[in-house]
Each structure stands twice: as structure tokens, then as C-alpha cells.
Structure 1
Amino acid sequence: MSVAVRKSSPAVIRPPEPVTTTRSGAGAIKLTPFDWPFVGVPFTVLLVFEHLSHEAVEGVRRALSQALVHYYPFAGRICSSGAGYDGFGIRCTGEGVEFVTGSVVCGLTEANIFGELSGAKALFDELAVYYPVGSYGSDDPLLSVQVTEFSCGGVVLGATWNHAVADGAGIAQFLAAVGELTRGQPSPLILPARCDNAVSRLPMLSNPIVEAVLACPESPDMELIVPLELTVPSALIDRVKAEYRSCSDDDGQPCTTFEAVLAVLWQCRVRATMPPGSGTTPVLLSFSADIRGYAGARAGYYGNCVANQPLAAATSGAVASASLVDLVGMVRRAKARLPDKLKEELGSGRLFAGGRYDMLHVSSWRNIGFEGVDFGGGPPARVMYHSRWVGPPTVPTCMVYPPCRGKDGVNMLSIAVKEEHAEAFLGELAWHT
């Protein structure tokens, strides 16, 4: 069904005037090497709440202004000295963030918000303010928030932010603070920090995604990748955990949900995309790791502190024929070496001779804070990443979501296979189930 969203004109939400005056003289916050790659890169998160009163929605607007007192860089703008990436910063001008309200004359279920991506994509496109990649200008807001009310009392909050200002954990921390202020807390429970010498002193880490692009800059195949919504069922995850527990001598350490999901995804994708007779082709699994603990970052730090790290490499034949327990073991051994890997100088491109389509990158929004955002009606029933698919992905990626209402298992967005491999990919997942 076609669902229309009525939107207000964008409003500018600023912190209280005294904060604007005080902070504007503080100059610019210098971006770190973890921030630089994301200058001008927009990300959008959609939070679906089943029950939220109109008064609470109005409270979000007021709380957003209050939150900018504590998270004042969000109200600033990106600036550049013209001296390359090292010259980028955030001007703490207090110019404000963008705020839009919307309304839909049907319920969340009727609008297929809890259904498959294909059934509600046109609606999702209207539930946030979107900026195409690379379109951010120096005068554009670093955060745009849209709150859309449905006739059933449900609400979808769409937040689009400049990724140079905060990573996923950082924006989740900010939205949680807005929720706390909406519910009447006098100040955020976590004291935020945007400047941290421990992070800014770290060198630029090798990035397998960037290296993959450099190793294979022309990849027309990537333009054929299609978005799919997947759910790895709880029964399959529990079975992998039980088999690992019975077969492994890994000091009794249980297999995690994320490790089980990684093993399933990697094998399903390799089997679906592997051409006949190509069992010696190198394939790589990588993931996004929050390294605040490794870096010694301050509590409450919300700037970028994520490393995209190679997790496991093997031949396609080895991954396709391995048991899921063996793949979990491979993943766990690679994770155990991660602290040392973060200290190494990784050779540029040496792991990526197979090209970008032979790589799977997994990023997770589980347990980073989105599941705890509460504006007065309880936590979100669904959390999603969304874009308008303005271009092909950099590398094949799966974005893992927090638990979703009505999904018995781990729900995710796959931007990882070409259309010609989509049916086989879904079939491999069904076969494991």
C-alpha cells in the first residue's frame, strides 16, 4: 500500500542562548584520524516506538535543545583549514540542528513497518531527512531529527547525522540522553566527552574497507548488489552454540550470538557467490570493532572510535565445506588476536587480492545503546539503518540490528550479494535452518 507522510517545514533547534554565547568562543574541535574518513558521510538510524504520546513527542523537541547544552558540538558545523584531512574540525557555533515533524494516517502494522524492507521502502524513504553521500556542505546541520506520528500512537524517530561527529555508539548515547531529558531527568546520566587525547594521539589504523577499494577501484559488479532483509533464526543460533559447547575445548567459553551469526552469514554468502571450480579463491571476513577499551578512551566519549578490522581469511572452498563450529572457532581465534592486530602496521592491500566482492564486512548495532533509548513509552520495537541507495556499497556489508518485535532471531540488513546470487543466498540460510 502507498502511505503518504505529511511533514512540517524544517525548524532549527538550538541550545539555550547562554550556552551558544559561551561555547562559540571555544574555537574548533579538531577531528581525530578516526573522524576524518567520515567527513561528509551521512548515516541514518530509524527507531520505531509502538506507543508514544503526542506530549512526549513535543517533549523530544524541548529535550533536544537541552541535550545540545551537553552535546554542543552537534549544534556546530564542519570547518576546514584547507590543509587536508588533518585540518578538519567542528566549529562550536551553536547554529543548531534540524527538526522535522511528520504524520501518517495509518498504524505501524498497517504501514508494514515490521514487515520486509521491500514492502515499506518507499515509506522508509520519507521517515528521515536524507543527504546523499558527499553532499554535506560546511553550512549544513550535523544532525537532522524527524519525528513521525502514526494514527495508532506509534512513532518513528529518524536521526541523520554527519558520521564525523559521532559513531554509532556515540549517536546512541546522544539519543539516550535526549530520552532521559524527555522523561524529566535534570541532566544526562552519562557525562559526555568529545575531546580525548588518548584517542586523538592514535595513528590512523589500516582500514580493510579502504584497502579493498584501493586494491580494486573499478568494480562494476558492486552496482548490482541488492538490499535484503535477513533473520538468522534463534533455533539455528542456539544449535550452533550447543554444538560449539559440546565440541570445543576453548576453556569452556561459550560461543556468542554474534559469533554464531558471523559463521552462518559467511558460509551462506560464500556458498551462494562461489563460482564452480573456484575453491581456491581468497575470501575475507571483516567487522567493525569498538576500540574505546583498547584506546583507553574516557567514559562517555562519543566521537568515532571504531576500527574496521580483518577478522578471518581463508579460501572459498574451506569456508564452504567447513562446519559452522569450525568457522566459529576461526572467528574466535581471530578475535583473540585483535588487540595485537590493532598495534600492527598492516600491509596495504595484501589481504585483498581477490577483489571487493570476495569480502564480507559485518557491522553491528546490537548492544551499543539504541536498544535502550526511551522517550517515555519504552524502548524501540525496531531499530534500522536506512538509506536511499544512492550508489553501490563500498564493500558487501551486513548491518546487524538489535532485537526486533516479531522477529525470532537476529534481524539484519544485507547489502552483500548481487541480484543473481540473492535467491541462492536466501536458500543457503533456509537450508541451515
Structure 2
Amino acid sequence: MYENEQADADVTLEEFGDALQPPFPCFDELLFDVPGSSDILDTPLLLIQLTRLNCGGFILAVRMNHAICDAQGLVQFLNAVGELARGASVPSILPVWRRELLEAMIPPQVSYTHHEYDDVPDTRGTILPFSDLSHRSFFIPSSEIADLRPSLPLHLRGCTACLWRCRTIALDPDPEEEMRMLCIVNCRNKLNPPLPKGYYGNAIVFPAAITTAGKLSTNPLAYALDLIKKAKACTTEEYVKSVLDLLVARGRPHFTVVRSFIVSDLAKVRPGDIDFGWGKPIYSGPAIGGIGAIPGTLSFYVPYKNGKGEEGMVVPMCLPAAAMDRFECELNAALGGDKKNDPADKYEYVISRL
């Protein structure tokens, strides 16, 4: 079930501004919000709106129901649409349903401790408020991501730990409160045999790196990186099966959102390679940041080239206004520069092309 809309806009792409990155202006006009479509059941699985621009370009906005697929599955679908639009008779990767491949055991046997599904009461009111939220995007050049690494052990990579640490300092929680970094791990190749190539359903697990706010804020960056590395290292086939059993045994609980943070790396699924026949998009990624059950819990790495031609990542963030200013200061200090940039509710993508 899906909804398909098209529209014309009396604007050009240039009028959206120099930096095409979240949060996109007028997004409520770029994707019609079908009544009831924010629910999980009895709702469209997919919303698509094509908006033609005066300059000859177009914006394709998509909202998918996360119950049907993950980010890799959505990009697989959009790539298939692009191939058909370019004249292919069938997609190069055929879709595979096969949900029985991820069934739990009977009876379920939870063999690991899964802190990503801990029942954590929000006793201190630290869930991010729905009001007074600020949305910004931060462009981090690839060269500066690399600059984080010389002082760290070679086996520790990426800036996820940097974002986690900066965000925690910005939110200023009680030093004894537990903070979680939920690490998104694609489990398609964790199973034996691996899931079929065209499997588009949710095939991700969220192993948790966990520590106190005080330790995360005061220890060197390598401390957080090592926690994340150890969390990811536990995602064996047995771990994945234990997650499946836990979901059934506990009635499919949501992962813990209280004092949790997630960063989804879209560079791995390559949304920027989608081509509907006019070439690759100028921007392909989330329209806004901080989406999910609780605003501010989820962010992304979006491959991006800025106006200067620098390659890097755009990271959309959603935080309370005061915390956002502190986050920017902490990120600037961590990267050693001035990274001011421009970011929240559903899994929405915008693809635009001249």
C-alpha cells in the first residue's frame, strides 16, 4: 500500500539556498502528510511526492514505514525504481521477502545481555523535550575526521565517539547517569548462510556501549571509542539470534531511548548513487534530523560535498536550543576549528537534482 503525489513549485533549486542540507525549508509542502500515515498499522507503507521546479529540476520526497524495511532496503527500492526509469526490464537486485529467515527459536532462548533493550525509567526527566528543540546540520570535512585519528589507537576509527561525547557534555546530565551509544550493525552477513542479497527487511541490531555521563565527559576520546568497538565486536550470529528471541519473548519492545544516542551511517548504503535518468542527486539523505520515537535520539552521517568542493559528512542534530549551542562549541573544540553549519520526526528522505 502506498500513496503517490506530484506537485509543481514556482521556485528554482537555487532559491532553497547554497547549502542543500537538513533541515529543508517548507518540507511540509514537499511531502504531503496523509492523515494517519504516522502510525504503524493500517497506514501507507510508503509516501512519495515528486515536486517539479521552475529550473527543470525536481525534488523527490519519500517517507517509508520502518516496519517494512531498513535504510538499505529503502535505497535498494529507490535504486530499482531508478533502473526501471532508465529502461531496465527488471531491477539488477530482485527483492527478497523471506522474513522467516529471521524467526526466533521456539521457545525463545535469550543468551546475551542486551542493554539496548533495558527498561530504563526516565526518573530525572532527561528525555529530550518536544518543545524548544533546535535543528542544525554540521559539515565535517573528511580531512578533519582523519585528524581525529593520529592521537588514537589505529584500531579505533570514526567520529561517532566524538559526537556521543560532545552531545553528552552539551546535555549536561548528572555525572552518575548512564549514557548509551546504540551502534547500528547490519546483520545480513552475520548469519550463516548470509541473508539473500535482495533482502530488504529490517536486518539491523543495536548493541549498546554504556557508561556514565561523568566518565564519558572526562575521559579521553579513546575511552568512548573503545567502548563502541567492544559493543560492535559482540555482534556474532549467536548475538543476532539472541536479539530475535528477546524481541519475541518480550513482545517486540522498542530499544531504550532514555539517555541513548544513535548515528546511522548512510555512506554504507550509498543513497547518493540513486539515478532516475538525470544523473546522481545533488543531495540524498534525511530531510530533517533527530527523527525517531523520541526527538534527538537519532542522527546520521550523510555523504556531502560543500560549496568549496570539500568532501565530508553532514551530521543533522536535534537538541534543546541551549544544548545545541554547547554542542557546537564542544564539536568545534574537538575538531579544532569553526564548523558552523546548518536538521526530526520520521524516516524521511529528500532527493533533489538539477
State the TM bucket, normalised to the shorter chain: 0.7 to 0.9
Aligned counterparts of 1:324 and 1:220: Cα–Cα separation in 2: 24
The unaligned stretches of length 5 or more in structure 2 are 251-255, 336-354
User: In structure 2, the residue corresponding to 1:265 is in which secondary structure?
Assistant: helix
Shift of 1:188: 0.3
User: In structure 1, the residue corresponding to 2:31 is in which secondary structure?
Assistant: coil
Bigger Rg, which one? 1
Match of 1:199 among 83, 102, 123: 102
**1:321-340 alignment, distance < 5 Å:** 321-339=218-236
Partner in structure 1 of residue 129 of structure 2: 222
1:265 aligns with 2:168: no
> Closer, same or farther in 2 for the Cα pair 1:209/1:215, shift >3 Å?
farther
Aligned counterparts of 2:21 and 2:93: Cα–Cα separation in 1: 35
- What amino acid is aligned across from residue 226 of structure 1 in structure 2? S
Check conservation: 2:292, 2:298, Cα contact below 8 A: no
Partner in structure 1 of residue 147 of structure 2: 239
Shift of 1:404: 4.6
Shift of 1:238: 1.0
Residues 359-404 of structure 1, C-alpha deviation per residue, up to 9 Å, x if partnerless?
Answer: 2222232221422211112222212324699997266222222335
Partner in structure 1 of residue 3 of structure 2: 98
User: Higher mean Cα deviation, 317-326 or 186-195?
Assistant: 317-326
- What amino acid is aligned across from residue 300 of structure 2 in structure 1? M
Structure number with the higher helix fraction is 1
User: In structure 2, the residue corresponding to 1:421 is in which secondary structure?
Assistant: helix
Check conservation: 1:207, 1:307, Cα contact below 8 A: no
Check conservation: 1:287, 1:308, Cα contact below 8 A: yes
- What amino acid is aligned across from residue 233 of structure 1 in structure 2? P
Residues 303-350 of structure 1, C-alpha deviation per residue, up to 9 Å, x if partnerless?
Answer: 12122331x11222222233333432332222112226435578999x
**1:315-394 alignment, distance < 5 Å:** 315-339=212-236, 341-344=239-242, 356=257, 358-386=259-287, 393=294
Aligned counterparts of 1:389 and 1:219: Cα–Cα separation in 2: 16
Q: CA RMSD in A?
A: 3.4
Partner in structure 2 of residue 154 of structure 1: 57
Aligned counterparts of 1:389 and 1:328: Cα–Cα separation in 2: 22
Check conservation: 1:231, 1:412, Cα contact below 8 A: yes
Report sequence identity in percent: 24
Shift of 1:405: 4.8
Aligned counterparts of 1:204 and 1:324: Cα–Cα separation in 2: 36
Check conservation: 1:229, 1:412, Cα contact below 8 A: yes
How many residues in Structure 1 have an aligned counterpart in Structure 2?
315
Shift of 1:262: 0.4
- What amino acid is aligned across from residue 81 of structure 2 in structure 1? V
**1:31-430 alignment, distance < 5 Å:** 76=1, 97-112=2-17, 114-115=19-20, 117=22, 120-121=24-25, 123-131=26-34, 134-135=38-39, 138=42, 140-201=43-104, 211=118, 215-216=121-122, 221-224=128-131, 225-244=133-152, 247-248=153-154, 250=155, 255-256=156-157, 260-275=158-173, 278-295=174-191, 296-310=194-208, 312-339=209-236, 341-344=239-242, 356=257, 358-386=259-287, 393=294, 396-406=297-307, 408-415=311-318, 417-430=319-332
The unaligned stretches of length 5 or more in structure 1 are 1-75, 77-96, 350-354
Aligned counterparts of 2:115 and 2:28: Cα–Cα separation in 1: 30
Aligned counterparts of 2:37 and 2:3: Cα–Cα separation in 1: 18
Aligned counterparts of 1:148 and 1:188: Cα–Cα separation in 2: 25
Aligned counterparts of 1:287 and 1:322: Cα–Cα separation in 2: 20
Aligned counterparts of 2:72 and 2:284: Cα–Cα separation in 1: 13
Between the two structures, name the one with larger relative contact order (CA 8 Å, sep ≥ 6): 2
Aligned counterparts of 1:207 and 1:330: Cα–Cα separation in 2: 15
- What amino acid is aligned across from residue 230 of structure 1 in structure 2? F
> Closer, same or farther in 2 for the Cα pair 1:370/1:186, shift >3 Å?
same
